[in-house]
Structure 1
Amino acid sequence: MGLFKRKDNQIRPSSKSNKSINSSTGSMTRSQLNMAIMEMLNLTQSTHGCDYVCRGNPITDTGKRKQLFKMLSVVLLPMAILIGMTGNVFLITVKNFIEAKETRSALSFSVELGQMMRFLQRERDMSALYVSAIGPDTKEFLLKRYPDTDMALENLSHWPVSKKNNRQEFQSKDRFLLFLNRHRYQLDLYNRTAKEELFFYTDVIDVFITWLYDAVSEARSGAIWKTLVAYQEIIVASEYIGRERGLGVTYFALGGFKAKEDYLLFLEAQDIANITFQSCRRYSELAYNLYEVQMLQNDLVLAPVRAMRLNIRSNKSAQLAGSLDKANEWFDNMTIYQDIVRGTQRALANKIDIMLTAKSDEDVYTIITIACIFGLIMVVCPLVIIGVYFLTSEIQKYSISIANRTKALNKEKKRTDTLLYQMLPKSVAERLKCNEQVEAEQYEQSTIFFSDIVGFTKISSSSSPLQVVDMLNSLYTCFDERIEMYDVYKVETIGDAYMVVSGVPRHNGKQHASEIAKMAFDLVRRLRHLEIPHLPGIKFTLRIGCHSGTVVAGVVGNKMPRYCLFGETVSVASKMESLGKANKIHLSETTYDILTSIGGFTMHERKDNIAKVSPELKAQVSYSDHILTYWLAEVDGTETDTDSVQTEPEEPHERVAGSKSFWLH
C-alpha cells in the first residue's frame, strides 16, 4: 500500500480562485453590498405576502426610509387606534356632559314652569268660581291669585319659543302677559261660564306642558331616563289634579254640574290623573315610596277628599245646595293633595339633580383625564418618532458594520475554501465541514499520473535553496493552471514529484485514462516554452508515467487531514514514471488498452525490455511474464514533438533505488 505525505509549501491558488477573490474584494455601493450580503445569507427579499412586508433592508437610504416607515407604522398604528378610541370616548363624554348640563337647565326650568303652572291652576280655579255668580265675595279670592301668577311668570329664567307653536301670544313673555291681562280685565265684560274659564286656562297650561315635554325629552340620557319619564308623568298628573280641583270647585259652588259634559270632564281629569300618577310610580320607586309616606302622614286631611270625590262621582246635584264654604273646603283639601304630588315632583327633581351632578363630576373627571392622556400622547409621539428615527439610524450603522464584516468574512471564507479545496477534494471537504465521517472508498477505475524533473538532483546541487523553490513554483504554477481544464484531481507534490489522478473522487467511467493522457500531452507541449528561471536557455525536461487500475482513497489524519491513495496501482504508476524517458509519456498496458478502446490516441510500443530494467516491476505485475509498455505519440493527430530531446534518464536514477521504500509500506 502506498501512503503519500505532502511536504511542499509552494501551493498557490489557481488563477480562477485569484480572480474570484479579487472580484469579491472590489469596491461596492451600499445597494450592491446589501444584495451581496442578502444573497450570501439567503435573505433575498421575497415579493410574496408577509415576507415583502416584514423584511427590511436598512443598509441603503431607501431601505432605511422604508424600515423607518414600517417601524413607525408598528408603533404609531396602535397609538393611532388608541387616540381614535380615546377621542371617541372624549367626544361621547363631552356630549354627555353637555346633555347633563342641558338636562339640569331643563330641570331647573321645569321647576320654575311648574311653579307658574301651579299659580295658573289656582287662578283658573278662582276664575271659574268667580264666574259661577256666587257673589262678589269670590272676587277677592281671584284678585289675590293674579300677583302670584305674575311673579311666577317674571321668575322664569327664559322663555322658550317653540317653532311648532305659531300662536303670537306665546312668542315672548311680554306678549303672553299682555294676553293674560286682557283676559283678566275683560272677564266682567263678557258673560263667561266656568267651563269656558277652565278651557281657557287649560289651553294655556297645555302649551306650557308641551314646552316642558320638549325640554325634558331632548335632554334624556342614560341612567336617569326612567326618572325623567317619571318626572314628566307626575307633572301631567299634577295638571289633571288641578283640573279636577277646578271642576270640583264649580260643582260645590253651584250645587252640581249644569251640563253632563262637565261631569264627564271631571271623571276624565280624575281618571287620567290617577293613571298618570300610577305610571310615574312604576317608573320611579322613589316616587312610589314618597307618595305612600305622604299619604299616611296626611290621611286625616285626605279622607275628606276621598269622600267628596265619591260625592261628586255620584253626581247627586238635586240633593246638594250650592255652598261657597263647601267649595273652599274642597279647594283647600285638593290643594293639600296636590302639594303631596308636587312634593313627590320636587323630590324627583332633587334626585335627578343629584344624579346629574354626580354624572357631570364624573364626566369632568373623565374629560380632564382624557385631556391629560392627549397631552401625554402629544408629548410622547414626537419622542417616539425621534427615538425610532435614531434607532433606525443606529440599526443602519450596525447593519453596514455587520455587512462589511460579513463581506470580509466571506472573502476570508473563500480564501480558506480555496486552500482547503487544494488540499482535499471539494466533495470530501464539504462533508468534513459538516462534521460527517468520510470512510475510505475503493475505486475500480482510475488512472494515476506521476512526473518528476530529469536531473533534479544535479540541478539542485548547483542551485541555492531559494532558486530551487522558485524553479518548482514556476513549474507547478504552470501545471496547476493547465490541470484546471481537465477532469483530474491533484493529489500531492513532493519535491520534484507531481501526482495527479482521474476517476477519483468523482467517477467518470473510462474517461479517466483519456483525461490523464490529454493532460500529460498538454503539459509536455507547454514545457517546450518554459525555461528554468535561474538557468536561461535551459528548458524543463520531465519523466511522465501513467497507469490505470484500482485504488483505495480516504482521508488520513485529524489535525492536518490528507486525502491519500493506496494500492498497487500507485506503485506501478510510480515505477512507470521512474523508468520513463525525458519528455516522454510512459503508459502501462492497462492504460493503453483503455485509450485504444476510446480512440483518438496514437501510441507506440516500447521496444526495450522493461522487465530487465526493473525486475521489481515484473514482480509487482504478476499476471504476465512479458511486460509491455507504450509511449504516447499523438492525441487527435497532434504529435508531442519531443523526439529532438535526447536527454536520457540518469543512471542509476536517484528515486529508482529508493522509490519502493519511499512510496510503499
Structure 2
Amino acid sequence: MNSCKRVHPSDGEGIVGRSTSKASILSQSPSELNVAIMDMLNVRQTPTKCDILCRGNPITDAGKRKQMIKMLSVVMLPVLVITGMTANTFAIAVGNYISSSNVRQLLVFSIELGALLRSIQFERDMSALYVSNIKPETKDFLLQRYPDTDLAVQNLSNWPKGDDIISDMETPERFLSYLNKHRYQLDVYNQSVEAELNFYSNIILVLLKWLYDSVSESSTGSVWKDVVAYQEIIVAKNQDRANVTFESARFYSQIAFDIYNAELAKNPNVSERIEEFRNRIKANNYSRESASIKEAELWFDNMTIYQGVLTRTQNALALTIDKSLAKESQEELKSVITICIVFGVILIVCPLVVFAVYSLTSDIQKYSISIANSTKALNKEKQRTDMLLYQMLPKSIAEMLKRREQVDAEQYNESTIFLSDIVGFTAICAQSSPLQVIDLLGNVYTTFDERIDVHDVYKVETIGDAYMVVSGVPKHNGKRHASEIATMSLDLLRNVKRIEISHLPGIRLKIRIGIHSGPTVAGVIGTKMPRFCLFGETVRIASKMESRGKANRIQISQATRDLLLAIGGFDMEERENDVVRREILNAFPGMTGRTYWLRNVDGLNRRASEHSSSSETEDESCCTEKSGGKFCTI
C-alpha cells in the first residue's frame, strides 16, 4: 500500500489571522481603479451613448480630456461670445475708419477737381470772348488762363479710370495733349462761339460726372448730406441759375447755406449786378459794332467775384466736412485701439484660462485617484472586518448588529450539536512546546474549517482542543440538521486521520465526537467582544456524548439516530450496555433510549473524492486500484 503524503492544512490561506499588507491594499490595477471611480461617480457599467460622449472616468486620459472639454466649454463659451462681439465691433470700427479716410481723400480729390472745373470754366469764357472778335486784347486774357488750367490738371492726385472714359481723357498727358491741340487749332480753324462753348462744356460735363461718381451716399457715412451740398456748390459754379442750385444745397445742408450767405454778405451788390447783366445779355440788344470790351470786363469781374464767393463757400464747407471726418476718424481710431487692447487681453487670458482648467483637471484626476485608492482600501478593510465579524457571529445576526438592531435570544426547536476534542491532548502538550501546540491546533482547526464549509452547519466556537458546531441554528434547515452534522462528522474524522504530528513522529492524531439533536436557545453575549452562544440541555447532552465517547469514533444519541434513520443511508451501531452508557443515561434522567456509534454513510467516499480532486493529485489521495473498484486507505 502506498504511503500517504503528509497534508499541511496550514499551507492554505486562512480567513482569520491572515493580514494583508498596506502596500497590497493600496496598489491597484487600472481596472480596479476604474471600477472604484465608476462606483464613486455612480456611473452605469453599461453606459449609454450620452454617457460615452459626455461622461468619463476622470482617472483615465480620455475621461480627463472629456472633463477638460466640458469645463472649457463652460468657461470659453462666454469668452467666445465676447470675442465675437468685440470682433464685430472691431470690424465696424475699422470699416468706419477706412471709410472716413476714403471720404477725406475723395474730399481732397473733389477740391482738386473743383479747381480744375473752375480753371476750365475761366478758359472757356476767355476762349469764347476771344473768338467773338470783340477786341484783339482778349487774346491776352485767354493766354493767362492756359497755365492755370494746365497746373490744375497736374495737381490732380488721382485720375479716374473706367471703360466709359473717352480716349482723349484716359490719362492727364492725353488730356493736356487733347487740350493743347484744340488751343493750337483755335486760330487756324476760326472756331465759332457756339463751337467753343460746346467743346469746353463737354469737358466740364465729363468732369462733373467724375465728381458725382467719386462721392456717393453709400461711401460718405454720416456726412453724406454735407458732401452732397458740397457737390451742388461745385455744380452751381457751372450753372446759370445758381440760386436754384443753392436751394438744392440748402435742402441737403444748412451749414452750406449759412457759409454761402456769410460770404455773399461781404459783396452785397454782386448778385444784383450779375442779374442785371444776365437780363441785358438775354435781351441781346448789342451788335458787333456796339460791342463794348469794358462791359465784357465788368461782366467777367462780377462773375469772378461771384465765383470767388462760391469758391470760398466751397473751401469753407470742405474744411468743415474735413474737421467732422477727422473727428470721426479720431474716435474710430480710439475705438480700434481700445478693441485691440481688449483683443490683447483676451489673447493673454485665454491661454491662462486653458492652463488653469488643465491644472484643475489634473488636480481633480489626482484627487480622484487618491479617493479611489482610499475607497478601495476602505472597502477591503471593511470586507476583512466583515469576514472577521462573520467568523465570530452568524452573518444574519452580524448584519442586525451592524444596523444597530437589538438581537434577542431565540428558541430553536430543531437542531443538532456537534462537539469534539483531541484524545490525549494533555499528554501531547506535555511533549510539545507552546508554539508547537499552537501550530498543531492551527493545522487541525484549519482542516476542520475547510471541511465544514462544504456542509450546512455553523461553527460556534473553539476552546482549547474542543470544537463545537451546530446545524439548524441560526439558519433553519428543516429535518436536515442531523444529516448535515452526521455527514460532516464522518468527513472530519476521515480527514483528521491523515494529519501527522510533525514534531512527534509515529503518533497519530485521534479525536472524540459526540452528537445530540434537540431544542436549544441561541443568543449573543457581551458587547465589547460579542459571542454567539448556545444554551440548553441539548448542549450538555452533546458534551457528555463527546466526553464519554471513544477515540476516532462518533457517538450519537437516540434522538439523532432516529432522525438519521428517517433520512436513510447511514450505518449506525448500537453501543453495548456498558458502564459508560449507563453513566450517560443516569446523568440525564429525562434522556431515554440508547446511544449509538455512527460508522458510515452511503456516498461519503465519492463526495470526498470529488471535493479533493480540485486541490490534490491522485497520489495524494492514497487510493489504490483493486479488482472490483477503488479503495482508499484512512
- Normalization by structure 1: what TM-score? 0.70
1:409-443 deviations in whole A, cap 9, x for unaligned?
Answer: 6665555444333223345445555x533523636
Paired residue type of 1:182: K
Q: Secondary structure at the match of 2:600?
A: strand
Counterpart of 1:486 in structure 2 is: 455
Q: Could you tell me whether the CA contact under 8 Å between 1:450 and 1:577 is conserved in 2?
A: yes
CA distance in structure 1 between the partners assigned to 2:296 and 2:531 by the alignment: 139
Q: Secondary structure at the match of 1:349?
A: helix
CA distance in structure 2 between the partners assigned to 1:568 and 1:41 by the alignment: 54
Paired residue type of 1:355: K
For the structure 1 residues 390 and 278, does the alpha-carbon distance in structure 2 shift closer, same or farther, using more than 3 Å as the test?
closer
Q: Could you tell me whether the CA contact under 8 Å between 1:104 and 1:356 is conserved in 2?
A: no
Residue 327 of structure 2: which of 341, 355, 363 is its match?
355
Residue 307 of structure 2: which of 335, 352, 357 is its match?
335
Confirm or deny that 1:205 pairs with 2:176: no
Query: Deviation of residue 179 (structure 1)?
Result: 1.6
Q: Could you tell me whether the CA contact under 8 Å between 2:10 and 2:443 is conserved in 1?
A: no
CA distance in structure 1 between the partners assigned to 2:208 and 2:375 by the alignment: 86
Counterpart of 1:618 in structure 2 is: 589
CA distance in structure 2 between the partners assigned to 1:176 and 1:557 by the alignment: 124
1:138-163 deviations in whole A, cap 9, x for unaligned?
Answer: 55544443333222222223x32413
Q: Could you tell me whether the CA contact under 8 Å between 2:472 and 2:481 is conserved in 1?
A: yes
For the structure 1 residues 527 and 160, does the alpha-carbon distance in structure 2 shift closer, same or farther, using more than 3 Å as the test?
same
Q: Could you tell me whether the CA contact under 8 Å between 1:491 and 1:501 is conserved in 2?
A: yes
CA distance in structure 2 between the partners assigned to 1:198 and 1:564 by the alignment: 137
Confirm or deny that 1:559 pairs with 2:528: yes
Query: Deviation of residue 134 (structure 1)?
Result: 5.3
Counterpart of 2:258 in structure 1 is: 292
Confirm or deny that 1:585 pairs with 2:581: no
For the structure 1 residues 15 and 427, does the alpha-carbon distance in structure 2 shift closer, same or farther, using more than 3 Å as the test?
farther
Counterpart of 2:238 in structure 1 is: 243
Query: Deviation of residue 599 (structure 1)?
Result: 3.6
Q: Could you tell me whether the CA contact under 8 Å between 2:419 and 2:513 is conserved in 1?
A: yes
Describe how 1:32-431 pairs up with structure 2 within 5 A.
33-43=29-39, 46=47, 48-50=49-51, 54-56=55-57, 58=59, 63-64=60-61, 67=64, 71=68, 78=76, 81=80, 85=84, 98-131=98-131, 135-136=135-136, 139-157=139-157, 159-190=158-189, 192=191, 196-217=195-216, 220=219, 225-227=221-223, 229-245=224-240, 271=244, 273-274=245-246, 276-281=248-253, 288-292=254-258, 294-295=260-261, 298-299=264-265, 301=267, 305=271, 317=283, 324=296, 327-328=299-300, 331-332=303-304, 334-335=306-307, 337-339=309-311, 341-343=313-315, 345-359=317-331, 361-362=333-334, 365-366=337-338, 369=341, 372-373=344-345, 376=348, 381=351, 415-429=384-398
For the structure 1 residues 339 and 601, does the alpha-carbon distance in structure 2 shift closer, same or farther, using more than 3 Å as the test?
same
Confirm or deny that 1:468 pairs with 2:430: no
Query: Deviation of residue 242 (structure 1)?
Result: 2.0
Counterpart of 1:440 in structure 2 is: 408
Q: Could you tell me whether the CA contact under 8 Å between 1:451 and 1:498 is conserved in 2?
A: yes
| Alignment length (residue pairs) | 581
CA distance in structure 2 between the partners assigned to 1:455 and 1:209 by the alignment: 137
CA distance in structure 2 between the partners assigned to 1:586 and 1:467 by the alignment: 29
Query: Deviation of residue 362 (structure 1)?
Result: 1.9
Q: Secondary structure at the match of 1:243?
A: coil
Q: Could you tell me whether the CA contact under 8 Å between 2:259 and 2:316 is conserved in 1?
A: no
Unaligned 5+ runs, structure 1: 1-10, 246-265, 282-287, 641-665
1:470-518 deviations in whole A, cap 9, x for unaligned?
Answer: 3322321221121122232222101121112233444444433332221
Residue 453 of structure 1: which of 413, 416, 422 is its match?
422
Counterpart of 1:643 in structure 2 is: none
Q: Could you tell me whether the CA contact under 8 Å between 2:417 and 2:468 is conserved in 1?
A: yes
Q: Could you tell me whether the CA contact under 8 Å between 1:576 and 1:588 is conserved in 2?
A: yes
Q: Could you tell me whether the CA contact under 8 Å between 1:446 and 1:548 is conserved in 2?
A: yes
Residue 530 of structure 1: which of 476, 499, 504 is its match?
499
Paired residue type of 1:242: K
CA distance in structure 2 between the partners assigned to 1:91 and 1:26 by the alignment: 63
Q: Secondary structure at the match of 2:417?
A: strand
Identity of aligned residues (%): 41
Q: Secondary structure at the match of 2:163?
A: coil
Q: Secondary structure at the match of 1:186?
A: helix
CA distance in structure 2 between the partners assigned to 1:615 and 1:561 by the alignment: 35
Counterpart of 2:627 in structure 1 is: none
Q: Secondary structure at the match of 1:49?
A: helix
Q: Could you tell me whether the CA contact under 8 Å between 2:256 and 2:313 is conserved in 1?
A: no
Q: Secondary structure at the match of 1:362?
A: helix
Query: Deviation of residue 349 (structure 1)?
Result: 3.0
Pairwise CA RMSD of aligned residues? 4.9
For the structure 1 residues 628 and 235, does the alpha-carbon distance in structure 2 shift closer, same or farther, using more than 3 Å as the test?
same
Query: Deviation of residue 553 (structure 1)?
Result: 4.0
Q: Secondary structure at the match of 2:589?
A: helix
1:501-541 deviations in whole A, cap 9, x for unaligned?
Answer: 23344444443333222111101111222244444333333
Unaligned 5+ runs, structure 2: 1-8, 607-634
Q: Could you tell me whether the CA contact under 8 Å between 1:440 and 1:552 is conserved in 2?
A: no
Paired residue type of 1:234: A
Q: Could you tell me whether the CA contact under 8 Å between 1:291 and 1:340 is conserved in 2?
A: no
CA distance in structure 1 between the partners assigned to 2:266 and 2:358 by the alignment: 84
CA distance in structure 2 between the partners assigned to 1:514 and 1:476 by the alignment: 22
Counterpart of 1:259 in structure 2 is: none
1:23-51 deviations in whole A, cap 9, x for unaligned?
Answer: 998899x9x71212222454588574346
Query: Deviation of residue 233 (structure 1)?
Result: 1.4
Counterpart of 2:13 in structure 1 is: 15
Query: Deviation of residue 117 (structure 1)?
Result: 2.4
Q: Could you tell me whether the CA contact under 8 Å between 2:458 and 2:471 is conserved in 1?
A: yes
CA distance in structure 1 between the partners assigned to 2:263 and 2:67 by the alignment: 75
For the structure 1 residues 56 and 312, does the alpha-carbon distance in structure 2 shift closer, same or farther, using more than 3 Å as the test?
farther
1:572-614 deviations in whole A, cap 9, x for unaligned?
Answer: 4334433444333333444444444444333445554957534
Task: Tell me whether 464-473 or 360-369 shows the greater mean CA deviation.
Answer: 360-369
Q: Could you tell me whether the CA contact under 8 Å between 1:116 and 1:149 is conserved in 2?
A: yes
CA distance in structure 2 between the partners assigned to 1:401 and 1:72 by the alignment: 22
Query: Deviation of residue 358 (structure 1)?
Result: 0.3
Q: Could you tell me whether the CA contact under 8 Å between 1:122 and 1:145 is conserved in 2?
A: yes
For the structure 1 residues 218 and 502, does the alpha-carbon distance in structure 2 shift closer, same or farther, using more than 3 Å as the test?
farther
CA distance in structure 2 between the partners assigned to 1:318 and 1:639 by the alignment: 154
Q: Could you tell me whether the CA contact under 8 Å between 1:527 and 1:540 is conserved in 2?
A: yes
Counterpart of 2:612 in structure 1 is: none
CA distance in structure 1 between the partners assigned to 2:316 and 2:582 by the alignment: 140
For the structure 1 residues 40 and 568, does the alpha-carbon distance in structure 2 shift closer, same or farther, using more than 3 Å as the test?
farther
Paired residue type of 2:589: K
Query: Deviation of residue 237 (structure 1)?
Result: 0.8
Task: Tell me whether 128-137 or 383-392 shows the greater mean CA deviation.
Answer: 383-392
